[in-house]
A and B are shown apart, each in its own frame.
Chain A
Amino acid sequence: MSDPGRNTHDAADIDRQARRLLAQGTSGDEPLRRAGTVGHALAVLAPDGRFHSWFVPVTVGDRLAAFFQFLADGTLMRFSSFPRRSGGFADCPIAADWLDHIRIRAHTEPQRRIDETTGEPWLTYDRVPDRLVWSVPLTDAQGQVRQVYVVGKTVYVPPPGDTFD
């Protein structure tokens, strides 16, 4: 999948911006500021493959506690956190389920048909950028490709576009 909007300079700027927002308390609460580690920006591509935004994970130990989403020009789209109460990191998703390509590919195994091979996951969204997913291409023996969406441990086939899901 092409990644035309991405370059390392932009990603580094976004990393710095995310670290600054967390450190200065603009985003996140005190427990997250103390325990959180801001990871590197990952490009979010629109379903058609064009660059859309940056996803910057914030992890606490092995958990994904929160994330930033920035538009290409650096505008903060949102800061979203998983804990339902301050400091409740134990219930957050396992970071590797969101960030580790090997693990993300492994989650698609139950959906993979016998003649299909699993391709490289790419970060995108299911219709709206709120619904971030990893899209994993599954290619059959005839070269036909279908995408399967993975979010955390949830795996599903992209739904039709005429419903609110």
Chain B
Amino acid sequence: MSGYKERYTFGMDFGTSDVKFGPITCGDAPKILHNRGYFPDRDSIMMRALNEAPEVVVGEDVPLYLQSSDDLSSRLIYPMRNGIIDRADDKAWRVVNEISRFGLRMFRPNPDEDFEGFCVVASISSVCPRYMYESLFDTMTEAAKEGLVKAITIISQPFAVAIGHGVTTCVVVESGHGNTQVCPISSYPIRSALVAVNRGGGEANSIAAEILKDLGYGDLAREEAFVRRVKENLGLLPLDLDRAVKAAKDSPSKFRARFKVPGTRVEIDFGEKSWQRFLIGEYVFNPRNELFQSYLTRGMPKPKDVKIGGAVFEGMIDFGEAIVRSVEKCPVELQPLLYKEILLSGGNFSWQTPEKLRDFATDAPTKMKTLLKEKGIKGVSVRMTKNPQYSVWHGCIIYGYAVPQDYGWNWERMEGWLPVAA
């Protein structure tokens, strides 16, 4: 194995919220940055007086430049909120460019070493269209002019998860803030069997906000960060929604959901409506239950089927159905092997299971098994990835280290190294 890559392989996981990056020498954990950039108002008096505001700010300095909250939506850009960037979204690409160079510069070694640039493995959503690959290659080519990049390759996030987890035949279900990708892997990612779902952690936030409004916390429901905390602290994933709701209505005190925000006087109490905490988890996994109808008719956004960058993201399909559809696009001989190893990755699969509610609230792997059982699929093995936060980055590092440097980029396979050194 090349000694050069033992030192200069560099992984970059472009997640919807965070970018995780660093060279192979980082050890087990990469650096983490918010995947966002801020465009300061360079015409303001102070910016002119200081004459130092960059066009775009990334990294830990972003809070220092934040101005009016009214401007945040237009100036604070999360380029990969849905995993995909529009071809013409110049601001988003500018942020990606800046973050990439920021990360690479952070680890530039001493000039007297034999450094010719990093061998960068970037990881993006499996549904990203070809132009995103091309733009990322352009970004790295620009970075190569500073001597930061020697070669670049791009792999999909589910593929990286499978590599990081050490499983060569499996189905990876990667669920982020905006969408969920189901991707079978058999030594290679099977692209023709990819299924994308237009639902993720954002949908759990939406229903949690509706519930808070109904409970009289409408003013707090406007704060996304607060809603997320309520979801994480009070939301439950039911084994069987109807049974859980009935039990919680019969015995509200046993299921009571109460949460006090540390350091504040704010306390949320679902009281008699504590059964609603089960809706939060169920809505992510299976939004078709009729209990959600009343929220949808009152204006809660319904996850729609959308076409993004050439891929169709289904909105209302349940996760079990998504896995079955994906696996059934693969050769019959392979299907049993795929069902034997289903990997769940992403924060959207982390649900608490309070001890006293074990009969009603469950974890994501058990829920997924239940959904598959309803479709007649038995004997499956569903697991969470060992290290969900870093598994994509681990996969990038392993890929970069192992793939021979003379294996050139191939657009059909969407694999291999593209040399970009200046």
Tell me if chain B binds chain A: no
Measured CB to CB, the residues of B under 8 A from A are none
The residues of A with any CB-CB pair to B shorter than 8 Å are none
